[in-house]
A and B are shown apart, each in its own frame.
Chain A
């Protein structure tokens, strides 16, 4: 994923309605009508959110019968999360070592 793509993914995720839509799609494909049901916003507004998610590669849309159905695409989501996770691991590893360091530095506090 390029930095531009990553930006688009982060941008798409920066909205609570879009995150809720993704959460709903994690349970299975859904039509615009189904996706709009829980939200107090118009269908066109939901459609606009879906376009943003589609552009970010987070969902794909396909026609089934008369309805346009949305499907969750997890890969970009994992990539964005994975990228952040690497920074988190940096600290986790360092803190494990700090923990050991502090125990060594204060042996009088060690207990069985």
Chain B
């Protein structure tokens, strides 16, 4: 089984606008995060350059996840590649570390194809003792970064 998530999604918006939705903290706060959780605008810090960072807090009734991301490669309007570390992920013992790659492609007619790859989701990340907490929070937070 592939330990990576791969998602392709087409948005009805120009490539630079989709890219900006990921890199503008005002916009990110409006859409990012699972149902029942919010990413407070004032918790977001971003410097979208190679070697830069993205940090934010995801909060909900049973959730307080801090995500610390370092951009390993950034090409404006084309690519965001990052290493993420998330602390306080429900059901995960210790920090979760994964790589994230977002590619922005022109799809014609001012549409944009976003290709996401995230992983590897691997060994030792699911703690048996926190499993029930994970399950109970799933109704609100179906997952996490």
Among A81, A86, A91, the residue within 8 A (CB) of B116 is: A91
| B44 contacts across to A, CB distance below 8 A | none
A10 adjacent to B128 (CB under 8 Å): no
Q: B34–A89 contact, CB under 8 A?
A: yes
Complex formed: what's the CA distance from A94 to B36 in Å?
Answer: 11
Asked whether, in the complex, the Cβ of A98 is within 8 Å of the Cβ of B11, the reply is yes
8 A Cβ contacts from B31-63 to A: 31-35
Question: Given known contacts A3-B93, A3-B128, is B1 in contact with A80 (CB within 8 Å)?
Answer: yes
Does A6 have its Cβ within 8 Å of any Cβ on chain B? yes
Question: Quick one: given A10-B1, A94-B31, are A86 and B142 in contact (CB under 8 Å)?
Answer: yes
Using known A-B contacts A7-B123, A87-B143, determine if residue A93 contacts B34 with beta carbons closer than 8 Å: yes
* Residues of chain B lying within 8 A (CB to CB) of residue A84: 1, 3, 5, 121
Q: Which of the segments A24-32, A35-43, A65-73, A102-110 contacts the partner chain?
A: A102-110
B144 touches A90 (CB 8 A): yes
Question: In the docked arrangement, what's the CA distance between A34 and B138, Å?
Answer: 41
Binding site for B on A (CB under 8 A): 1-4, 6-7, 10, 13-14, 19, 80-81, 83-84, 86-95, 97-103, 105-106, 109
> What are the 9 tightest A-B residue pairs by CB atom distance, in nearest-first order?
A86-B143, A7-B123, A90-B143, A2-B128, A97-B31, A102-B13, A89-B142, A13-B1, A101-B31
